[in-house]
Structure 1
Amino acid sequence: MTEDNSQELYDRALSVMPGGVNSAVRAAIEPYPFFVRKGEGGHVIDADGNRYIDWVMGLGPLLLGHDLPEPVQASIQQKASEGPMYGTPTPVEVDLAEFVVRHVPSVEKIRFVNSGTEATVSAVRLARGYTGRNKVVVMQGGYHGAQESTLVEGDAENPRPSSAGIPQSFAEHTLPVPFNDEDAIREVFDEHGDDIAAVLTEPILGNYGIVYPEDGYHEFLREITDEHGSLLIFDEVITGFRVGGLGCAQSEFGVTPDLTTFGKIIGGGFPVGAIGGRAEIVEHFTPSGDVFQAGTFSGHPVTMAAGLETLQFAAANDVYDHVNGLGERLRSGLTDILADQAPSYTVTGTDSMFKVIFTREGPSGVQRTPEDASGDDREQGPDSLEEQCEAGCRQNATCPRYDYCPKNAADVKNAETERWRRIFWGRMKDQDVFLSQNQFECQFVSYGHTEEDVEKTLEAYKEAL
């Protein structure tokens, strides 16, 4: 396998782009990323002609895979041929808005923007404007885009910016708490309840290894925000139209937030974001309200056409049955492989999302040592894995893994993240399988993937582990 062209391209990119990339995660691959020339179905082909099974899927937007079905492609091409954009409303943005309102429980009205980051920025501003309060509760390790209100680390007592360029005074309005920790939520509401505008959370942590909520956690968030007059915001940029089908993750969990942010799939692979929710709240956006929000490219006709046709195709065909079925097969197969080869590791994910977290402890509570990580002793730990979650961690209290499977971002961070990135990822790439660039990012199944892709990937995991 040659990578001469990718190496040359990266050398050129370093001269004209910071770190040689336009998004930081792309540089996580060492010593340099491979450059993709094209996609086909569930595969990508790089600049040197190497072909990989692609489980990254653009980090989530490509529900249908790289080969778009004819009606989706035709609609995109038609809109592009009619002119790039106009600075006026277009019929297709109304069509997409009506589709989302019909299918997503929380959405009565929606505002389209251009990225997931822009959606969460606008949602936080809207929550503050609507409630007249300043503080926002977020989950540690949750990702809500590159915005000042959520690039915050630490805890509720000592929040601090997680990036240079953000004033400490901004971070003081953000209250980070561990995911799945009801006591921590109660404490921040006891201390700051009168000034909490919203709780902002992903229904499933998707940028920190995939962490599933414990039973009743979202119901608790719904109750405590109602009790204190705060808003509940679900960030469904990743889970939207992937978990729970057209109803999104909120329909899967049976909890309706006040606001929902979208991105990725809702734009069919083109730049997009959206904020939807109760009409009385969303109406506070200008021009009908007093919370400023605007964007030259918002509701771009090509993006709106791509999103609408993608969702309509998914509704009319077996897309969710296909991707969820392959996801189930992947997670079940990985569960069997880990039970035999690496029982301390954890399979996570649901529907068409999956990941293996290199957790360090087995059900017996045996802590792995560095020597274990490279030797046969990896099979120590579990006394029994009977009755474990069969196809991805569900935080099931009867599962023998329950006491040590990841409950929050800190648990994932304490996993063998460097081993995953520096050793395992490369072993998978050598077998022509492209996984997300680090331990934390999701992996996704698309309509373009096949059972053969799944079987080849499972064999690669056996070899790489």
Structure 2
Amino acid sequence: MTQNRNESPSYQLYDRALESLVGGVNSPVRADPQPTPAFVDYGDGGDIVDVDGDRYRDYIMGYGPLLLGHDLPDPVREAISETVADGPMYGIPTEIEVELAEFVIEHVESVERLRFVNSGTEATAAAIRLARGYTGRDKIVVMQGGYHGGHESVLVEGNLGDRGPSSAGIPETFAEETIPVPFNDDEALQEVFDRHGPDIAAVVTEPLLGNCGIVLPVEGYHETIRELCDEYGSLFILDEVITGFRVGGLQCAQGKYGIEPDLTTFAKIIGGGFPVGAIGGRAELMQEFTPMGDVFESGTFNGHPVTMAAGLETLRFAKDHDVYSHVNDLGKQLRAGLQDIVEEHAPEYTVAGTDSMFKLLFTREAPETFDGHCQAGCVQDPDCPRFDLCPKTGADVEAGETDRWKRTFWPAMADRGVLLTPNQLESQFVSYAHTEDDIDRTLDAYQDVLSTRDR
């Protein structure tokens, strides 16, 4: 990183941005790096270069959309360029949105119909509205530590007996209808249904917590959700905004884990780096959206042709070039290497992730032995000696050394040319542009930083 920070172009840009943008940024997490965020100049494969001329091995990857890395393959780039040349957008249907919908339906078993929107937030808001309209009920259940975007129905914190808005500007009445429960907690979910089952429109969850560290599901948890939803006539909404077409490959996380949702929300990868969201599910449910049904959903930029072209060609490229084997192998190598490092230097920390997702969680308790330990990140194996210590809920992650991650660990990794998400909660991603050499150099940086604990 540039040493004379107050004279750097990033510092000067941030100072300038504070005069025109709220907090100098357009999303609050971007303000986290201290003392000021670096401003990107350009992406290069698996790296980014900032305006100060510093190069970083990038594992933020746009917070997930950049499955292929920063350099788009020729077929993707050409499809985007041709679509832009034809005209930026129309507000009238195009063939490309039909083709992308057909691709998703072909590969994701639970999806029979789609509605494209413009973000993950729009997708989850519309899916919840659809569930309420279809069931005639108002209450929804969400997971503590889960993230489903920035709208009123999900910006709620607390528990069954004590909950409220998690942001100013949200009426208390929204919190009355949204009930947070701990992820992976069958008993808490059962209690909610025992008390409110006939009033619950839907349970909304990610396949794994992807915005609160990475917390994988305990075996049987999603089956419990499915059974309770069936028993009480509620809908099961699976938020695959992060995991869709990343975890589990083309079948998504629901295929990997055998989850059977009624509705699924998508975003990120299905737009190939452009703004996108989508709701998918059974035709019977999806046709409750206007113009077929009475649940309103509309958007000027829905099915934007440039986004549709980028998403479709990204997914086609991933299918035709064995992208998932590459990124998943690198993800496994990275997590396995991290496991070796933490066993030696930070045995209380937990390696988390699956496929091309990874995170080192700064948990506080070490197991008595590493014999029989998960070898490439926690998979919630009951026979693992660390099973009772690995995070099962969002609260478990937030109880870790989150300030240490942000204030000392993140800057130390950035100084070594490795760009991680700037706090303990967001996931990190391997892309198709990363190489085995990138993984080796990244592990060297982790080794260097974590070994300082011994000195």
Query: Normalized against structure 2, the TM-score is what?
Result: 0.97
2: CA distance, partners of 1:255 / 1:448? 30
1:457 matched to 2:442: yes
2: CA distance, partners of 1:29 / 1:291? 41
The residue type equivalent to 2:189 in the other structure is: I
1: CA distance, partners of 2:295 / 2:369? 56
1:447 matched to 2:432: yes
2: CA distance, partners of 1:328 / 1:121? 34
Offset at 1:294?
0.2
* Partner in structure 1 of residue 104 of structure 2: 100
2: CA distance, partners of 1:282 / 1:437? 37
Q: CA RMSD in A?
A: 0.6
SS of corresponding position for 2:358:
strand
Contact 1:156 1:174 in 2 (8 A): no
* Partner in structure 2 of residue 320 of structure 1: 324
Query: Normalized against structure 1, the TM-score is what?
Result: 0.95
SS of corresponding position for 1:172:
helix
1:409 matched to 2:394: yes
4+ residue stretches of structure 1 with deviation over 2 A? none
1:206 matched to 2:185: no
1: CA distance, partners of 2:449 / 2:177? 44
1:434 matched to 2:419: yes
Q: Deviations over 1:378-403 (max 9, x none)?
A: xxxxx310111111111111001011
SS of corresponding position for 2:18:
helix
Contact 1:199 1:232 in 2 (8 A): yes
SS of corresponding position for 1:276:
strand
1: CA distance, partners of 2:118 / 2:161? 34
Q: Which runs of 5+ in 2 are unaligned?
A: 451-455
* Partner in structure 1 of residue 60 of structure 2: 56
* Partner in structure 1 of residue 183 of structure 2: 179
* % identical equivalent positions: 65
The aligned runs of 1:207-356 (5 Å cut-off) are: 207-356=211-360
Q: Deviations over 1:354-396 (max 9, x none)?
A: 0000000011xxxxxxxxxxxxxxxxxxx31011111111111
2: CA distance, partners of 1:275 / 1:106? 11
1: CA distance, partners of 2:349 / 2:43? 31
Q: Which runs of 5+ in 1 are unaligned?
A: 364-382
Offset at 1:426?
0.4
SS of corresponding position for 2:369:
coil
1:191 matched to 2:195: yes
The residue type equivalent to 1:335 in the other structure is: Q
The aligned runs of 1:122-161 (5 Å cut-off) are: 122-161=126-165
Q: Deviations over 1:208-266 (max 9, x none)?
A: 00000001111111111011100000000000000000000000011210000000001
* Partner in structure 2 of residue 367 of structure 1: none
1: CA distance, partners of 2:428 / 2:385? 25
2: CA distance, partners of 1:303 / 1:413? 35
The residue type equivalent to 2:423 in the other structure is: N
* Partner in structure 2 of residue 384 of structure 1: 369
1: CA distance, partners of 2:449 / 2:18? 31
The residue type equivalent to 2:329 in the other structure is: G
SS of corresponding position for 1:198:
strand
2: CA distance, partners of 1:156 / 1:455? 46
2: CA distance, partners of 1:457 / 1:336? 14
2: CA distance, partners of 1:414 / 1:100? 38
The residue type equivalent to 1:302 in the other structure is: V
* Partner in structure 1 of residue 453 of structure 2: none
Offset at 1:48?
1.1
Aligned residues between the structures: 446
SS of corresponding position for 1:37:
strand
* Partner in structure 2 of residue 18 of structure 1: 22
